[in-house]
Structure 1
Amino acid sequence: METINIITGLDVGTTKIGCLIAEVSSSGEINIKGVGTAPSEGLRYGMVVDIEKTVRSIRKAVEAAEAMAGVAVDLVYAGIAGDHIRDINGRGVVAISGENHEVSADDVRRVIEAARAVALPMDREMIHILPQEFIVDQQRGIRDPVGMCGVRLEAEVHIVTGAVASAQNIYRCIEKAGYTTADLVLESLASSYSVLTDDAKEMGVILIDIGGGTSDIAMFYEGCLRLSRVVALGGRNVTNDIAIELRTPIEAAEKLKLAHGSAIHVDGDKEQLVEVPGMNDRSIRRVSRGLLIDIIQARMSEILTHTYEEIKNSDYLNLMTTGLVLTGGASLLPGTVEMAENIFNMPVKLGIPRGFTGMVAEAQRPQYATGVGLIMYAMQNKDDFEEGFSDNETGVFDNIVSRFKTFFKKATQLD
């Protein structure tokens, strides 16, 4: 009889909290049963600035998803972003200790442990340690070294770090809302599970998730994460610009952006008029749609230019055969794909979450890429899920150790 697990993904975003609840079968089929969202009122640029408001928003989103799915949840896989995220590439070297100089699983564990031995300030912690490749006696490109013969084993890993306080605050908010954090996952890494194919990751692809408060960047090559960055700019900045320039409330600015916005000019937009509500119940004014697009275009150009600046010096940039994939709510603005093509000078497409059944119409949107990806991440790291994380008081560092053990187990199974 097939086993069904319930997995919950919680996207703790700057403008919205999104929760997705899915049934996941032992054969790997994902059936999304519940989707819940709530306005995010306690975060700024991906970081918690008000604990109580964030707790209320999390509770509303999860309870809405629970009501739709008809289940109560405890464990959640949560996303983390913010401009405190940093990445480093580490390298470890050990002597092969196995009989007849044959690489063992213990050798793999030791070499990854050696690679993680980098000095971090007290206010920073490791969120992910992702093996990129193994090297046996200078033979590169090895993904599974177990069973190979040699004297020297090396590992190159991608290490994602974050501010201790930022991670602790997310854990605390989820706990105060009544739930337990099974794992904290870099949002761009989570999104990659739902919108990128294995072939794209192998051939080289850039993923940019433009959310409300941050734009999360991930660069993949030969199936591995090579670069991960976060830019503290997103769709909320566009909305704020509209509100300030047109002297209209934030809510009205968001509606204008969604109804009439574009990242690039279109024929006749300067002649079109749009209605703009005034502040403090002042009368409605009519302004050129072209003016609205001028405001949006300036900020979207800044967002995409800043993301390009983060990756332009990467050694992998010229190897991005697949091009660029945009996802996240702000990527839905008309003209964003075309603008990105001009800035990055490469093919660009919109990334839609795929690979699941159930509430496809609700969840198959760019703004749910992280939520769906968190579920897929949990499914592919199911050892952690099955063991559970019943004691959230163990804190951030113990959770990192638990994730690290999972990487050890998976290091011998890299495809």
Structure 2
Amino acid sequence: MAGTIFLACLDIGTTKISTMVAEARHDSLEIIAVSTVTSAGVRKGVIVDIESTLGAIKESVRRATEISGVEIKEVYVGISDSHIKTTKSTGAVVLPNGAVTAHDIDEVMENAQTIYVPLDKEILHVIPLNYNVDGETEIYNPQGMKGTCFEANVQIVTAATNSIHNLLKCCEMAGLTVAELVHTPIVSSMAVLRDDELELGVFLIDIGGGTTDIAFFKNNRFQGATVLDIAGNQFTNDLAVGLSVSPPEAEKIKKAYGMPAFPEDYEDESILIGVSGRSEKKVAKSFITKIIMDRSEELIGMISDEMRKLAGSGALHQRVVITGGVSQMKGFEAHVQSLLNMPVRIGVPEGKDVIEKVQNPIFSTLMGLLYYGHKSTFEISVNGLTGDCRGMKRWFKGLVGKFFRIN
């Protein structure tokens, strides 16, 4: 594909809904609009009120259209909730021509997805890990290789049927066609992970308002992911209950104080807070720190358990990249590093096409969706991730056909 086109992406989260528009060429992206509105009707990544979510989507898209002057008709959309699961599978075929062809790759990928899928789940992605030819393992580009037996090892990502349907329905009602629906850690990795991390092994932990995505990458491949329904809103709720303040006030306190590097620094300090319409009261900063640290330790403990499941046997020695809104909380990066005893950094969108406005962890998924859309449209590689983008598009088109008529 040549020339210039416009790409749009939509991040429908628990706390915010964001839209981005870019002018795209084969070798470049120019971001021309970013809009963010408060989310509505979404709980822990799941749409629970279609009308409310629809209104927020329309407003976000309207603002992006107004800024860019581009009519948005098609969008790349992320999906993340605790119902999403990843499973390893293997497919095998006999090579009739004695060498691997593109048709053989398609066939072995089809065979790999013949696994049991519950009635309330759908296959969202089938992502190649590696291939085997006549016992020769860990092959990444098998086309043309000679042999008789050909196998594919894949990661299958499944999502709840209702979650997929509600996302697609909201977009359809907003007048939008979904180009692809992609599990968010896959796209976030394109925005924040570096080539050496993808090759040597890295955990990407994206902590938003409603969900926490934990994904593992190694050998430039997506190795699996899990989603927790504990995230930033739990910190806010804990503060609201513990301090008897409104959620908006609790959110301000969370952002203002977080976790100091040395908690004893707060031992003798106090602040005045509003108490749900009553007169202000004095609260020790150390009490605020304890509430946040207790929840943080619980969350990081759960993350650690999931990391071990994803990495398999052996000690954890990979790096960790944290992103999403919670990664910005004061002291959180150091706290994660201390509890996991692993190198940790905060991931922000990177690359020559990233503008200052989106150099923020809250835009990792949105920027990743744009990179993914660019890669999918122009069939190019982004940030070292070499999964079969065209294949993912094919699985998605078949999935959408179950819900809506497509040409």
Equivalent position SS for 2:216: strand
Which amino acid counterpart does residue 184 of structure 2 have in structure 1? Answer: E
| Contact 2:6-2:24 at 8 Å conserved across structures | yes
Shift of 1:2: 6.5
In structure 2, the partner of 1:377 is 372
Q: CA deviation at 1:18?
A: 1.3
Aligned to 1:187: 184
For the residue of structure 2 that corresponds to 1:355, the secondary structure is coil
CA deviations 1:366-407 (Å, max 9, x no partner) are 00000000011111111699x9xxxxxx884438999xxxxx
Match of 2:15 in 1: 15
Give the alignment partner of residue 226 of structure 2, picking from 226, 229, 236.
Answer: 229
Structure 2 residue matching 1:82: 3-state secondary structure: coil
Deviation per residue, 1:252-274 (Å, 9 max, x gap): 11111111222765442122222
Distance change in 2, residues 1:401/1:204 (3 Å): farther
Distance 1:399 1:364 in 2: 37
Distance 1:237 1:315, change over 3 A: closer
* 1:241-260 to 2 correspondences below 5 Å: 241-260=238-257
- Residue equivalent to 1:343: 339
Is 1:323 matched with 2:326? Answer: no
* SS of alignment partner, residue 103 of structure 1: coil
Q: Are 1:313 and 2:341 counterparts?
A: no
Q: Post-superposition shift, 1:283?
A: 1.1
1:186 CA displacement:
0.4
Residue 315 of structure 1: how far off its partner (Å): 4.3
Q: Distance in 1 between matches of 2:83 and 2:41?
A: 17
- Of 239, 245, 253, the residue aligned with 2:236 is 239
- What TM-score, normalized by structure 2, do the two folds share? 0.91
Please say if 1:111 is aligned against 2:108. yes
Equivalent residue number for residue 88 of structure 2: 89
1:31–1:356 CA contact under 8 A, matched in 2: no
Q: 2: CA distance between counterparts of 1:396 and 1:275?
A: 53
Name the structure 2 match of 1:409: none
- Per-residue deviation, 1:165: 0.3
Q: 1:398 aligns with which of 385, 392, 401?
A: 401
TM-score by length of 1: 0.89
Aligned counterparts of 1:349 and 1:384: Cα–Cα separation in 2: 30
CA distance in 2, matches of 1:319, 1:67: 51
Give the conservation status (yes or no) of the 8 Å contact 2:32–2:67. yes
Distance (whole Å) between structure 2 residues aligned to residue 399 and residue 201 of structure 1: 34
Aligned 8 A contact 2:20 2:33 in 1: yes
Structure-2 separation of matches of 1:395 and 1:221: 28
Report deviation, 1:312.
1.5
For residue 122 of structure 1, what is the aligned residue in structure 2?
Answer: 119
Q: Which amino acid aligns with 1:58?
A: I
Shift in Å at residue 59 of structure 1?
1.2
Change (3 A) 1:401 1:378: farther
Corresponding position: 1:362 with 2:365: no
Unaligned runs of 5+ in 1: 388-393, 403-415
What is the CA distance between 1:199 and its match in structure 2?
2.3
Q: Is 1:54 the equivalent of 2:53?
A: yes
Q: Paired residue for 1:66?
A: 65
| Matched letter for residue 192 of structure 2 | V
**CA separation in 2, counterparts of 1:265 and 1:244?**
25
The change in CA–CA distance for 1:191 and 1:320 in structure 2 (over 3 A counts) is farther
SS at 1:144's partner residue? coil
- Letter in structure 2 aligned against 1:22: A
Residue of structure 2 equivalent to 1:408: none
Q: Given that residues 205 and 320 in structure 1 are in contact (C-alpha distance below 8 angstroms), is that contact kept between their aligned partners in structure 2?
A: no
Q: Separation in 2 of the partners of 1:67 and 1:319?
A: 51
CA shift at 1:160, angstroms? 0.5
Amino acid across the alignment from 2:7: I
The one of 267, 270, 277 equivalent to 2:267 is 270
SS of 2:265's equivalent? coil
Report the CA distance between 1:25 and its aligned residue: 1.3
The corresponding residue for 1:169 is 166
Q: 1:77 to 1:332 in 2, by over 3 A?
A: same
User: Could you tell me which amino acid in structure 2 is paired with residue 24 of structure 1?
Assistant: A
**Number of equivalent positions:** 390
- Contact conserved, 1:205 with 1:321, CA < 8 A, in 2? no
Kindly provide the CA deviation profile for residues 22-69 of structure 1, in whole angstroms up to 9, marking residues without a partner as x: 112122x12211111111120110001111110111111122222222
Q: Deviations over 1:122-144 (max 9, x none)?
A: 11001111000000001011111
The answer to whether the Cα contact below 8 Å between 2:8 and 2:72 also exists between their aligned partners in 1 is yes
Q: 1:229 to 1:34 in 2, by over 3 A?
A: same
Contact 1:263 1:339 in 2 (8 A): no
2:76 aligned with 1:77, yes or no? yes
Q: In structure 1, the residue corresponding to 2:401 is in which secondary structure?
A: helix
Contact 2:225–2:310 at 8 Å: present in 1 too?
no
1:291 and 2:301 equivalent? Answer: no
| 1:26 pairs with 2:30 | no
Per-residue deviation, residues 105-163 of structure 1 (Å, max 9, x unmatched): 11111111111111111110011110000000010111111111111000000010000
CA spacing shift, 1:399–1:346, aligned 2, 3 Å: farther
Question: What is the SS of the residue equivalent to 1:312?
Answer: helix
Tell me which residue corresponds to 1:131. 128
Partner of 1:406: none
Over 3 Å counting, the alpha-carbon distance change for 1:373 and 1:318 in structure 2 is: farther
Offset of 1:198 from its aligned partner?
Answer: 2.6
Q: Secondary structure at the match of 1:313?
A: helix
Distance in 2 between the 1:198 and 1:401 partners?
Answer: 38
